Amino acid sequence: MGNSESSNDGKSGSSKGRIYNFSAGPAMLPVDVLEQAQKDMLNWNGSGMGVMEMSHRGKEFVSIAKAAEADLRTLLKIPENYKVLFMQGGATTQFAAIPFNLTTPEDTIDFVETGAWSTKAIKEAKKYCKVNVAATSKAENFTHIPEESNWTLTPGGKLVHICYNETIGGVEFKDIPRCADDVTLVADMSSDFLSKPVDVSKFGMIYAGAQKNVGPAGVTIVIIREDLIGKARADCPAMFDYKLAADNDSMYNTPPCYGIYICGLVFKKLLSIGGLEKVEEYNLKKCALIYDAIDGSEGFYKAPVAKNCRSCMNIPFTMASKELETEFFAEAAKRNMVQLAGHKSVGGIRVSVYNAMPMEGAEAIAQLMQELLARSKQ
Amino acid sequence: MGNSESSNDGKSGSSKGRIYNFSAGPAMLPVDVLEQAQKDMLNWNGSGMGVMEMSHRGKEFVSIAKAAEADLRTLLKIPENYKVLFMQGGATTQFAAIPFNLTTPEDTIDFVETGAWSTKAIKEAKKYCKVNVAATSKAENFTHIPEESNWTLTPGGKLVHICYNETIGGVEFKDIPRCADDVTLVADMSSDFLSKPVDVSKFGMIYAGAQKNVGPAGVTIVIIREDLIGKARADCPAMFDYKLAADNDSMYNTPPCYGIYICGLVFKKLLSIGGLEKVEEYNLKKCALIYDAIDGSEGFYKAPVAKNCRSCMNIPFTMASKELETEFFAEAAKRNMVQLAGHKSVGGIRVSVYNAMPMEGAEAIAQLMQELLARSKQ
């Protein structure tokens, strides 16, 4: 968070020459987390081993995993009746694991479809249970979140799935749906996990791939209320089974140890700067710089998403022509700002400003946007 | 391989203070691989990003992944009609993925049960298809491999599954079963993958978790003949589907990028020292040091496994009493040799000597064994 890039010391392997990487994920990590990982690489804490080399059953790695879980619990104020699982395979694996664990083939999951990732979750769930698309903004190109009062939830239904932040479309829930009081709400938070405080107690389950705000790709975090665990189908793959994962402290087989270690370093970092309230404050400032540049451009930059659900993490916008966008990318590259192309399915420009993007990066892109606008008026 | 630990330079984060870690996995990695990773941590190859921070769709990571696959193909001389997939979830995930991809519920997989990992594979497969245990050494505590002439393969059966090296029991196939000419042979090579040359063309599929000889936990390598791909069941989870993985260059969703990068560094290292023939030569010398210490001890150390299938990677043995074994562990720890306890299910001592264990480590443990034997005679 806001690691100044100015502490370069000219060493090989140092932070010298770092760029602003606006990738939608995997994405920037805090410089001091990377420096700690660098320092620990051959010898963690005097153990004589790097973290990648440790037995997952040894006291060293067990202490790393326990600290990571404890710090995550503190950060998100996770209630005691929730389990924290470190799994593999990304959100896409959870799209199948959720029906295997939480439904029978006759049960229905109500989905709110707000973008490409909800669509993928729906497609996968259809293999295993009934699916009701309770609401969709597909006809409007996923540019808003359907009003909750218009959701057609299954009568007597129990499971509602939402994607809290759509990485591709840039649509983010700003409030927890009211139905959380009556149903088991399951949320894919892959791309805004730990970017702001969230009341975990309102959810049956939250899951997130790590590779946006938390750590490297290859770790998936699942936070699930205990009463939902232990009802997996008989043919649930062992590696999908939340009970097996919970009963074995996420070590039914060898977990992605190094990724968990990096996540743990990030958790400590977020705690050290004051927790998720501070993180959110910082993130809101960053995204405001960019949205202000869009809104003040008199249409030179166009953001498609309704203002009440604009993502604070992924900011898609377009310009009047391909040529202007190409010029934008070229000018950005000259200033060491990369990974700004919109997802291939939507085109345009996408600025992703996850936790580890420093304020200076958001300022630099906003500055570029203003300069290109000014240039267009000359 | 055989990184001398003598190049210590006293820096923090250097190889100073490294120990001999005989863990069954995750396990030691080559020092120079770790040093390269350390150097690249904040800025890979002048890109301004660490590898953990790169978009998996960006040219930087795509070049890393392509080089890793190409180098693995060279190392194992993988024929062109085989796909190489980088997946997640370890061998345990493949235990389910194999029936989902390669069988219908009416098909039978013939298993040869040679230890704890074959048993786990059998248990998981039973959820999805018919299973025939064609041969088992369970009654003899998994201390040998059943003679192939006694295997009762399913008449007309097509799929035979073996575990090439049993990490817990220390039993390893020394030859490819003759049935490979008639059936689709599938082998779990997690714990001896890349420890020796293997004729890939004899197998329908080879799979291996990376965390023994190849890289960090969280990467699973699947090598599969193309004609076996594309027949997944309709309810195969997307993340298990070999066709989806193959068609998307292992990037149907975000792959475990950092792990793939480390595997790639290890592949380059193995090529640089002369390929798998040299690796095997080195490994045979290492394990001979330890087996010789056992065989020359007149029963002071007892290896349970039949000599014709002793693992070159995992060497379990026992001593006459718990007290002697406790003394062994304590004496080893004094000499910076750790992770020597046998798996909890079998007890005793287990010395794992994967590729990255230097000769000096094998010499040190053999030396300890001889000294304790000599002491016992005083």
Domain with CATH 3.90.1150.10 in chain B: 275-377
pLDDT digits (tens, 9 = 90+) for A152-177: 999 988 899 999 999 999 999 999 99
Question: What are the DSSP calls for B280-337, one per residue?
Answer: HHHHHHHHHHHHHHHHTTTTSSB--S-GGGB-SSEEEEB-SSHHHHHHHHHHHHHTTE
Q: Is A53 on the interface with B (CB under 8 A)?
A: yes
What's the CATH number for A274-377? 3.90.1150.10
With a CB-CB cutoff of 8 Å, which residues 107-126 of chain B face chain A? 124
Q: What distance in Å separates residue A371's CA from the closest CA in chain B?
A: 24
With a CB-CB cutoff of 8 Å, which residues 217-256 of chain A face chain B? 217-219, 234-235, 237-240, 252-256
Domain with CATH 3.40.640.10 in chain B: 44-272
Question: What are the DSSP calls for A120-159, one per residue?
Answer: HHHHHHTTTSEEEEEEE-GGGTT-SPPPGGG--PPTT--E
Tell me which residues of chain B have a pLDDT lower than 70.
1-15
pLDDT, position A117: 98
- Residues of A serving a catalytic function are 117, 188, 212
Please state the rounded mean pLDDT for residues A293-322.
Answer: 97
> Any idea which fold A44-272 has?
Aspartate Aminotransferase; domain 2 (3.40.640)
- Residues of B serving a catalytic function are 117, 188, 212
Using 50, 70 and 90 to split pLDDT, how confident is the model at A15?
A: low
pLDDT, position B345: 85
Q: Is the pLDDT of residue A327 over 60?
A: yes
Please state the rounded mean pLDDT for residues A328-334.
Answer: 98
Selected for mutation to probe chain A from B5, B40, B55 (highest A CB count within 10 Å) is B55
Using 50, 70 and 90 to split pLDDT, how confident is the model at A14?
A: low
Amino acid in position B215:
G
Instruction: Kindly determine whether residue A218 and residue B26, on different chains, have CB atoms separated by under 8 Å.
Output: no
Q: Is A354 on the interface with B (CB under 8 A)?
A: no
Amino acid in position B321:
S
Residue owning tokens 């946007």: A369
Q: What distance in Å separates residue B48's CA from the closest CA in chain A?
A: 4
Domain with CATH 3.90.1150.10 in chain A: 274-377
With a CB-CB cutoff of 8 Å, which residues 184-223 of chain A face chain B? 209, 211, 215-219
Tokens standing for B156?
């007309």
Q: What distance in Å separates residue A185's CA from the closest CA in chain B?
A: 22
Minimal CA–CA distance to A188: which of A310, A46, A59, A93? A93
Cα first-last separation, chain A: 37
Q: Which residues pair with B318 in a beta bridge?
A: B302
pLDDT, position B71: 98
Using 50, 70 and 90 to split pLDDT, how confident is the model at A346?
A: confident
Q: Is B46 on the interface with A (CB under 8 A)?
A: yes
pLDDT digits (tens, 9 = 90+) for A45-83: 999 999 999 999 999 999 999 999 999 999 999 999 999
pLDDT digits (tens, 9 = 90+) for B6-50: 333 334 455 678 999 999 999 999 999 999 999 999 999 999 999
What's the CATH number for B275-377? 3.90.1150.10
